[in-house]
Structure 1
Amino acid sequence: MNALRWYFDFISPFAYLHWQKLRALEGTLDIEPVPVVFGAVLAAHAHKGPAEIPGKREFTYRHVLWQAQRQGVTLHFPPAHPFNPLAALRLCVAAGSRPEAVTAIFDWIWGQGRAGDDAQALAPVADALGVGAAALASPQVKDALRANTDAALAAGVFGVPTLAVAGELFWGNDAHEFALAVLAQPELLQTPEMQRVSRLPQAVRRI
């Protein structure tokens, strides 16, 4: 069974929610977590994150809390958001991006609402994962995270979380059922209307 690549950043509460759904499929699907720098993805596409836009920021926070309640998932925001996720991402890479590492870091930041913006804040998680503080600053870990992000951009990723299924990208926690449907029935994307919208021309472009 080929692994489905799942691109994510710990800065995203929607990625935290989506991870809960993916964990429930353990043993059914082979998921490869791929930590990436969301800020670099945004910069590559000249986008702002939802938490950087007044009004959209507040709506996004309320929306994700509602999704968590509906999904039956405990979610507590960390002390500040957005925060710098590099330390958390590097910890994940240093721990081999194993599912248990992804779960532990997500639980610390979004399950318990603790800070995850530097090595000191993440020290209890790093200790539990058996990762020394020096590993987070190692060139190998930094290069691996950069390579993950470059690979995500090369694959066409424009946001997180994104699940790659047979060359198609499914963005967001709310695209989970769509991704599973296409995984079960790839022909869903081959209908005339699906094909038409994939080639739909643009009548106007903003400058």
Structure 2
Amino acid sequence: MTARHITFYLDFVSPYAWLAFEQLPQALEGLSWHASYRPVLLGALLQQHNNPGPAGIAPKRDWTYRHAAWLGHSLGCGLDLPARHPFPPLPLLRQALMCSRDGSINRFVAGTVLRHVWLGGHDALDPARLDALAGVLALQVQGEPDTALARAKDLLRANTDAAAARGVFGVPAFEVDGRLFWGLDGLPMLRACLQGDAWFDGPQWAAAASVPQGLGG
């Protein structure tokens, strides 16, 4: 069986990106697949759709943190809220993409940065911790640091623009065979698609986009 390719769009600021990263192998156990992890700037994707995100709505922010912490506990992977959140994720995104030449990072790099944010309850942007993170990833950096950083900035813009063009509106998101699946709770649907569920050959997938809008003038 040919392994199916999954593009995993993530931003390290998202707790659900951490949870989905941890759950992906279990969710797709027994299937033949491989993934490329593509960092994107979530804020730019949200802005494109005038979406304030969960942190922009106070009660939703509280619920999101409770829900994410509960999921980390219940799924057994852990999740400790960082000392401050949300935070500007650019330093982490660029650090990760210094380890790439094509916009994708490997699972080691993705997991290292996600654990830096979501385990321990520390400040993700603490300078000493960022230095330590850079040390852990040093052997993964592609080329000289200055060149790698300049390339990382370009890759992040390109990744985010390409994701937006593909219809990605949030993270985590997974693309396979031109179809997008969003969120931790989209993993069972992704599995069904990879398994060849006949539902995906029917009209329902395309029909969702043709439902008339009932609001507005």
Does the TM-score normalized on the shorter chain lie above 0.5?
yes
- In the alignment, which of 6, 15, 18 is matched to residue 17 of structure 2? 15
- In the alignment, which of 170, 173, 190 is matched to residue 201 of structure 2? 190
- In the alignment, which of 42, 45, 62 is matched to residue 46 of structure 2? 42
Name the residue aligned to 2:79.
75
Instruction: Please list, as runs of the form range in 1=range in 2, the aligned pairs for 1:2-151 lying within 5 A after superposition.
Output: 2-24=4-26, 28-96=32-100, 97-117=105-125, 120-130=128-138, 134-135=145-146, 138-151=149-162
**Shift, 1:194, TM fit:** 4.4
Q: For CA contacts below 8 A with separation 6 or more, give which structure has more relative contact order.
A: 2
Name the residue aligned to 1:169.
180
Tell whether the 8 Å contact from 1:36 to 1:148 is kept in structure 2 after alignment: yes
Structure 2 CA distance, aligned partners of 1:113 and 1:15? 16
**Greater alpha carbon shift after TM alignment, 47-56 vs 111-120:** 111-120
Segments of structure 2 that go 5 or more residues without pairing to the other structure are: none
Name the residue aligned to 2:171.
160
Letter in 1 for 2:189: F
The structure-2 alpha-carbon separation of the partners of 1:135 and 1:67, relative to structure 1 and needing over 3 Å to count, comes to: farther
Letter in 1 for 2:210: R
The structure-2 alpha-carbon separation of the partners of 1:159 and 1:28, relative to structure 1 and needing over 3 Å to count, comes to: same
Q: SS at the partner of 2:43?
A: helix
Structure 1 CA distance, aligned partners of 2:23 and 2:147? 28
**Greater alpha carbon shift after TM alignment, 67-76 vs 167-176:** 67-76
Segments of structure 1 that go 5 or more residues without pairing to the other structure are: none
Tell whether the 8 Å contact from 2:5 to 2:176 is kept in structure 1 after alignment: no
Letter in 1 for 2:169: F
TM-score, scaled to structure 1:
0.89
**Greater alpha carbon shift after TM alignment, 108-117 vs 150-159:** 108-117
Structure 1 CA distance, aligned partners of 2:126 and 2:149? 14
Structure 2 CA distance, aligned partners of 1:5 and 1:193? 23
CA RMSD of the aligned region, Å? 2.4
Structure 2 CA distance, aligned partners of 1:203 and 1:197? 14
**Shift, 1:198, TM fit:** 3.4
TM-score, scaled to structure 2:
0.86
Letter in 2 for 1:199: S
